[in-house]
């Protein structure tokens, strides 16, 4: 599964950069979204299985918080670095 997700993410970048049609760009976006969302699910399962049973809800909550904060702060940081 990890190889499939990595392949989808790697293929999304050149497909988006060299897209000469809307269909190719749509496929690139689909690959990127598939890779990101599926990776979130598989990593959440690993985070939940790494802790004792009574701590799993907290581990999943903290994992999701960090994942979403990365999704929110990453583009903001990249924009700030690109503008300056």
Q: What is the largest CA-CA distance in the chain?
A: 51
Condensed to tens digits (0 to 9), the pLDDT of residues 51-84 reads 999 999 999 999 999 988 988 898 889 899 998 7
For 5-36, letters b (16+ CB in 10 Å) and e give beebbeebeebeeeeeeeeeeebbeebbeebe
Write down the pLDDT at residue 61: 92
Write down the pLDDT at residue 2: 82
Condensed to tens digits (0 to 9), the pLDDT of residues 7-38 reads 888 888 888 888 888 998 999 999 898 988 88
């Amino acid at each position: 599964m990890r190889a499939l997700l990595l392949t989808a993410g790697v293929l999304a970048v050149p497909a988006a950069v060299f897209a000469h049609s809307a269909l190719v760009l749509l496929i690139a976006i689909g690959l990127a979204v598939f890779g990101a969302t599926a990776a979130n699910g598989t990593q959440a399962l690993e985070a939940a299985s790494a802790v004792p049973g009574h701590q799993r809800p907290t581990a999943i909550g903290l994992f999701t918080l960090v994942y979403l904060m990365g999704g929110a702060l990453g583009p903001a940081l990249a924009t700030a670095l690109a503008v300056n």
